[in-house]
Amino acid sequence: MNIDLSRRGFLKLAGAGVAATSLGAMGFGKAEAAELAHVRDFKLAQTTETRNTCPYCSVACGIIIYARPDDTGARRVVHIEGDADHPTNRGTLCPKGAALKDFVNAETRLTEPMVRRPGSDRFEPISWDEALDRIARAIKDDRDANFLATNELGVPVNRWTTTGFLAASATTNETAWLTYKVVRSMGIVGFDNQARV
Ligand code: SF4
């Protein structure tokens, strides 16, 4: 009987035969092949990478955050690891940093501004617009009331000691420079800007 087989078809057939023979030679029976078919996907598949800084302490280790959409379409952090290119930690993380994913995904994590109004015994969520308006109002009122242009000897000091400022350093150098300039230009003395904040 003649078999009508093109060159491409012949190569395909030969390849399949070699693969089947090789699997057999390595001891993969039907059961093993079925098991291989259920090997789970690479856990970082389909994720996006975002570089950031561990917020726990002043060492400020570099991290890479991996996220992908969950069933509702919202992006969820699925893995966090040390950034091998970061000069501080070279990819390593201490146990606290290694557990960051659970901190980010914790149900108790604060994700919106809160206010405790005068006379109230509880905090309530407010919009960012309202929060920023309240902060601006409080800053202006306190500075107007307490800014010291000169000390008791008449020496110019331009300081404002009744308000403090906390800032986090998971930002660019430019943002940190601007933060410093804004805070110091208002005369604020109590200022902390670093990773653990
Ligand atoms: S990983 Fe550990 S050492 Fe590094 S910043 Fe976070 S808490 Fe500090």
| Per-residue pLDDT reduced to its tens digit, 17-74 | 555 556 556 666 777 777 777 777 788 888 999 999 998 888 889 999 999 998 898 8
State whether the beta carbon of 98 lies less than 6 angstroms from ligand 1.
Answer: no
Measured torsion, CA atoms of residues 129, 133, 139, 145, in degrees rounded to the nearest 10: -170
Structure tokens at 188: 């604020």
For residue 5, is pLDDT > 90? no
CA 98 to ligand 1: nearest atom: 1
Mean pLDDT throughout 92-117? 94
Q: Determine the residue type at 173.
A: N
Residue 96 has a pLDDT of: 95
- Atom 4 (ligand 1) nearest CA: 61
Give 135's contacts (C-beta < 8 A, 6+ positions apart).
none
C-alpha 149/C-alpha 1 separation (Å) is 107
C-alpha 78/C-alpha 67 separation (Å) is 5
C-alpha 95/C-alpha 159 separation (Å) is 41
Q: Could you tell me the pLDDT band of residue 6, with boundaries at 50, 70 and 90?
A: low
Closest CA to 188 of 166, 165, 157: 165
C-alpha 117/C-alpha 177 separation (Å) is 33
% helix, strand, coil for the chain, step of 5? 35, 20, 45
Residue 22 has a pLDDT of: 60
Residue 77 has a pLDDT of: 95
How far away, in angstroms, is 62 Cα from ligand 1 center? 9
Homologous superfamily of domain range 48-105? ADC-like domains (2.20.25.90)
Q: What pLDDT digit, counting tens, does each position of 133-188 carry?
A: 999 999 999 999 999 999 999 999 999 999 999 988 677 789 889 999 999 999 99
Residue 155 has a pLDDT of: 97
More confident residue, 193 or 163: 163
C-alpha 76/C-alpha 82 separation (Å) is 18
Q: Which of 57, 65, 100, 197 to mutate to test the pocket of ligand 1 (most atoms within 8 A of CB)?
A: 57
How far away, in angstroms, is 59 Cα from ligand 1 center? 6
Q: What residues does CATH 2.20.25.90 cover in the chain? A: 48-105
Structure tokens at 139: 């800053």
More confident residue, 66 or 5: 66
Residue 173 has a pLDDT of: 84
More confident residue, 189 or 45: 189
Q: Determine the residue type at 181.
A: K
